[in-house]
Amino acid sequence: MSSAQLSSEITIAPADPVGETARELIGHLCAEMTARYGSAPSPFSATEFAVPRSVFLEARLRGEPVGCGAIRSLSTETGEIKRMYVTPQARGKGVARKILAELEEYARQFDYHTLCLETGTRQPEAQALYESIGFRRIPAFGPYVENPTSLCYEKTLGSARDSAATTTALPFRIRRINPESERANQLAEALAGVTIDCVEGGASIGFMQPLSHAKALAFWRGVLGQTERGERILLVAEEFESQRIVGTVQVVLTMPENQPHRADIAKMQVHRSARGRGLGAALMRAAEAAARDTGRTLLVLDTVTGGDAERLYTRLGWTRCGEIPGFALWPSGGFCTTTIFYKHLASRATRHQAED
């Protein structure tokens, strides 16, 4: 397989730093650092990455989680790269470089002028990687000053305008909703606003125009109840600076007893003001990851035929089953055709068996 083909199979997306996959990857990182240095790295605190101008990313190779990396804020002008890790079996395949490239793009979006990081004297491969992409050695800083095994690096960044890849990017965070720790009314209000905007824009997502605030609010309160009962996974996308919710998607887990391996993707919505910046794709990847973490291996969804969403799902590797004419109504009236998609998710057990 060529390096270009391999690179196309590596996906990087924002993730919940306290999700099951993140905890597993951080656990592997801590175990490896303990083996190399005799002690674990500083304790992992998810709160470091739950504030503006920070992000936690997960890397997947052919759908399997293989790495992570994060940025936290050190100052107005400086971000620090943390929790860089790639599983041993995925090393040498460009995963770390791709994570670092994505982190640099986020750093530019956050208006950081400099990125810094710390690695160790017993990680020559990490030193070589950082130096090969423009990081330079600097004196130890902060908590690393008194650590004789610490090596610190920094890199000066250009502005977001200097990077063509980020000129239309919107910094956002995707997180999984935990109803027990959320302000339910405030959350329902925010989600209702997204749904009303989508319906006003002509999205066929189960509602007719005009969609009243009361009806949208009642819908989301019902969804939050189902989420609290474990019947659905609810993901939201928030702008970093304003923390405004601009997108959402659901993974429906309640299935007949003979379909425990399946889940539905439902109500994928992006506010019109946030479209065209890759948010829909990021939400879908996060939904797939969340479904995989519950052991689901088959996902199903439906969407309006010929729309932007249909093209998005095709790009993301979903398989088109066929069309159902007159399946639903447009919000303004009149029948629309619906396309059914499915996607198989390789379970971790299946992946390991295939590798064996």
DSSP result, 276-287: TSSHHHHHHHHH
Q: What is the CATH number of the domain that holds 45?
A: 3.40.630.30
* 205 & 187 share domain: yes
* 105 & 210 share domain: no
* 177 & 84 share domain: no
* 297 & 322 share domain: yes
* 203 & 147 share domain: no
* 312 & 180 share domain: yes
* 148 & 296 share domain: no
The pTM of the full predicted model, rounded to 2 decimals, is 0.56
Q: Where are the alpha helices (DSSP H) in the chain?
A: 3-8, 20-37, 95-109, 124-132, 184-200, 213-228, 279-293, 308-315, 348-355
Domain range spanning residue 347? Answer: 172-355
* 273 & 349 share domain: yes
Q: How many domains does the chain have?
A: 2
Quote the pLDDT of residue 43.
73
* 155 & 194 share domain: no
Domain boundary among the residues 117, 139, 166 is at 166
Quote the pLDDT of residue 5.
52
Identify the residue whose tokens are 């990313």.
57
Q: Could you tell me the two tokens for 179?
A: 């109803």
Domain boundary among the residues 138, 166, 194 is at 166
Q: Give the residue ranges of the chain where pLDDT is below 70.
A: 1-8, 44, 46, 50, 158-171, 346-356
Quote the pLDDT of residue 351.
41
8 Å CB contact between 286 and 56: no
* 161 & 176 share domain: no
Q: Is 226 exposed, middle or buried (0-12, 13-18, 19+ CB in 10 A)?
A: middle
Quote the pLDDT of residue 170.
45
* 217 & 113 share domain: no
Residue 238 CB contacts under 8 Å (≥ 6 apart), including other chains: 172, 173, 174, 175, 244, 245, 246
Domain boundary among the residues 137, 166, 195 is at 166
* 202 & 144 share domain: no
Single-letter residue type at 232: R
Quote the pLDDT of residue 87.
97
* Maximal C-alpha separation, the chain: 71
